[in-house]
Amino acid sequence: MESTCNHIGVTSADPEGLIRFYTDKIGFAREGEKKIPSVLMEQIFGIDSPCRLIKLRLGRVVLEVFDFQTTTAPHLRECTVGINHWGLEVENKMSFIRKLRQRSVPLIEADGKGHTIYFIRDPEGNRIEVFERKKSHD
């Protein structure tokens, strides 16, 4: 089975400064932004705070910058600054999830507005988001 890294998620004590670094110095382009409600952040990361997610791209490399939106968030940033999670892209997501369940791999399932978002939790507590590769229409 062929797979690849879909994206890397990072949290930052200075999200705008981090975004400027990646766009101005490295050449990433700002691709989009969305709000993640606290209920979803709690389901996935155990963090009770709404979050702003800013997506940056350089070629096939995608970086997601997480910016906590509550007044209690500064202490969360201190505990979580750095890599937050990464995305694994596989050929068939549900087949992969079935194999993980058969192997007793800890999974996190969250409601992503009508579809299930799956994360693997490794023994160190790191999270890996599972994506299905989009079919190309060549």
pTM: 0.63
From CA 45, how far away is CA 23, in angstroms rounded? 26
Torsion angle (degrees, nearest 10) of CA 30, 34, 35, 37: -130
Domain residue limits, the chain: 4-132
Tens of pLDDT, residue by residue over 87-108, are 888 889 899 899 889 988 888 8
Handedness of CA 87, 130, 108, 54 (dihedral sign): positive
Question: Domain 4-132 maps to which CATH number in 3.40.50.2300, 3.10.180.10, 3.30.470.20, 3.40.50.300?
Answer: 3.10.180.10
Digit-coded pLDDT (tens) for 35-92? 999 899 888 877 888 889 999 887 788 888 888 877 555 555 555 545 567 788 888 9
